[in-house]
Structure 1
Amino acid sequence: MSETLEYADRTFELIGYGFAVPAFAIFAALGVYVLESVVYGTIMGVFAGGGTVLYAPWRLRLSAVQKESDETVPFAAAVRRAGGNAQLAMLGQGLYLGAFAMFTIAFVFAGPNLLVGLAVAVPIAVFAPYVGSTLIERTSHE
């Protein structure tokens, strides 16, 4: 791998960590100030921050591949050129969606219930990457 590609990959990873800090902080703050539960907010923050760390670098690489090409790049070709682990990226997206689901479900039950929140967030965090990975794999074989 050339130094330029290593530098770009490292930059995308650092940007992912940079995005993760406010994602964690926002969801933790929502848990503390809106839902009035430090534990619930922290878990939402971990889901959102961890998901961002996994998803953002891959998405940035994908965008860079599409931007540097002169012609329109099909999605499957862009995924192949972007490299990285698409399954991990989809897991990250699922974790982030799980944080949103936890926040939403707290309003349905008129307050944060950790067991119910996790019972909703974990299946979403597992199901979303399964669907995303399946779709990416199908488009890359066409």
Structure 2
Amino acid sequence: MRPPSVPLLLSAFWLVVGLGGSGPARADDCDGLAGRIAGAMGGKVGRRTGPSIDIRVPGGLKLDLTCRAEPIVQAASAEPTPSAAYFADLALAAEIVIGESAGAVQASIATAHATALKERRKSFIQQNGWSASCYTDTSGSIRTLCSVGRIPPG
């Protein structure tokens, strides 16, 4: 009996981990989404690490777009209460990712952030198939981490 070839083994591996033939297509979709966010915000697409892509926008904010079952955009801040620009920029990026208005997203992020500060725990706001979440830590180097994304089906 002849041992299986390397391409055959790699194909089997990708099928087992659930990527099948959609791996490159998903990467292209994620790269395209990162480009749309950067273009809309006057920013620049940065480094890609696995399913995550850094996006730098004017004002120094760094967004992270992670593409798995559904894309998620997040931003970290060294401030326990970030500037209004932090919330506005994250909301604009989220509008592109989830298709909801930046105003609705920004209100949800603000509520999640206020709850996280008040209750000292991660806070989730779920609406119409998407969610906004914020985590705050008054003692860590990342004081605020908020994210927005579609809730994966199932």
TM-score by length of 1: 0.33
Instruction: Flag the structure with more relative contact order, 1 or 2, with Cα contacts below 8 A and sequence separation at least 6.
Output: 1
Greater helix proportion? 1
- Give 1 or 2: higher strand fraction: 2
TM norm structure 2: 0.31
Which protein is bigger by CA-based radius of gyration? 2
